[in-house]
Amino acid sequence: MINRVTAFAPASMGNVGVGFDLLGAALAPIDGYQLGDKVSVELASVGSPPLQLEVKGEWASALPGAPEQNIVWQCAEAFLAAGLEQGWLKRAPALKLVLYKQLPVGSGLGSSAASVVAALYALNALFDEPLRPQALLMLMGELEGRISGAVHYDNVAPSYLGGLQLMVSDNGQAECRALPVFSDWYWLVAYSGVSLSTAKMRALLPEAFPLKDVLAYGRNLSAFIHASHQGDEPLALAKMRDVIAEPYRADAIPGFVDARAGLTELGVPVCGISGSGPTLFAVCQSLEQAQAGLEYLNQNYLQSSQGFAHICRLDERGCRLEVC
């Protein structure tokens, strides 16, 4: 068994507008910027505390100060507990973990999911992959649910597996399918610099939706999936409409409504909320259109020095190990 591994998990968009809780996409900025979290795990020396956690990075100060409250610490506890219960661990070794927090908390970019995915992926690699992919994905969903307030996989699945992922299971099993992607699309994402609680944004949604909205949701999502497989770009763009979450969340995200209107005036065909916000995403059909949208968002959507915007492609690799 190796002694130390480091895993990188990319940022992700939940929902992707049309697929509330069922569709997610992993992001890779075209300028090479590493938009995601990293976690290093190594075996600690004999006599060390059972678990040690160090948090580094631009967004480290936004996380709980007590290590045991950090989701990466909880990932290690859950992973070791699973090993002892399932028998592939006879005793829990001492571990040292380092979280490089490179995603803002409460951004709508799958920040907690990236930490969870990187931690569990690294732990699984360190112990020679005792958990199969579906079991690992289920554990990722369970841990991420502690932060978001509900177990859903539209952030952890793409961050782990890459690409555009559709969740297809409703029986407690984590099962997903990768959808074909349009290779000429550029995905523009902009984080305003204002953090929003996922749980609070989820609480804005009604307990029941009008029948017309439920029918529209099913129609749009099924048509988008069909269009993705057929390579029907006009149909895919026409159906990327959020009738479930955006109507209830748009006004709660400072500047979103105006930014959406501004991007539409530039000819951008799709603009929506990434996850629960405040990050917005837009689909652009050319690099020139994406660059114009980027300039607009930098001038009109970012609300603090911590805000940022990137032109992205979809990250097809998902979580991966880095050379230490």
Q: What is the mean pLDDT of the chain?
A: 94
pLDDT tens digits, one per residue of 241-273? 999 999 999 999 999 999 999 999 999 999 999
Share of the chain above pLDDT 90, in %: 87
Is the pLDDT at 172 greater than 90? The verdict is no
The fold adopted by the segment(s) 186-314 is Alpha-Beta Plaits (3.30.70)
Q: Per-residue pLDDT for 24 more than 80? A: yes
- pLDDT of 150 above 80: no
The pLDDT assigned to 25 comes to 98
243 marked among binding-site residues = no
pLDDT at position 202: 86
Q: Is 65 annotated as a binding residue?
A: no
At 147, the pLDDT band (50, 70, 90 cuts) reads confident
- pLDDT above 80 (res 9): yes
pLDDT (average), residues 134-138: 94
Q: Which two tokens stand for residue 35?
A: 């938009």
Assign domain 4-179 one CATH number from 1.10.10.10, 3.30.230.10, 3.40.50.720, 3.30.2420.10: 3.30.230.10
Question: pLDDT-derived band of residue 324, with 50, 70 and 90 as boundaries?
Answer: low
pLDDT digits (tens, 9 = 90+) for 34-91: 999 999 999 998 778 899 999 999 999 999 889 999 999 999 999 999 999 999 999 9
Where does the pLDDT of residue 196 fall: very low under 50, low under 70, confident under 90, or very high at 90 and above?
confident
Q: Is it the case that residue 165 has pLDDT exceeding 90?
A: yes
Q: Establish whether 113 is an annotated binding residue.
A: yes
User: Structural domain boundaries of the chain?
Assistant: 4-179, 186-314
Query: What number is the average pLDDT over the span 222-242?
Result: 98
pLDDT category at 1 given cuts 50, 70, 90 is low
Residue 111, marked binder:
yes
Question: Is 321 among the annotated ligand-binding positions?
Answer: no
pLDDT of residue 170: 67
Is 247 labeled as ligand-binding? no
Q: What is the pLDDT of residues 78-111, one digit of tens each?
A: 999 999 999 999 998 999 999 999 999 989 999 9
Q: Would you say 112 is a known binding-site residue?
A: yes
Q: What is the model's pLDDT at position 152? A: 83
109 is in an annotated binding site: yes
What global pTM score does this model have? 0.94
pLDDT at 149 over 90: no
More confident residue, 282 or 170: 282
Residue 205 scores a pLDDT above 90:
yes
For the ranges 135-139, 151-155, 164-168, the lowest mean pLDDT is seen at 151-155
Is 87 a known ligand-binding residue?
no
- The pLDDT of 146-161, averaged and rounded, is 88
> Given pLDDT bands bounded at 50, 70 and 90, which one contains residue 199?
confident
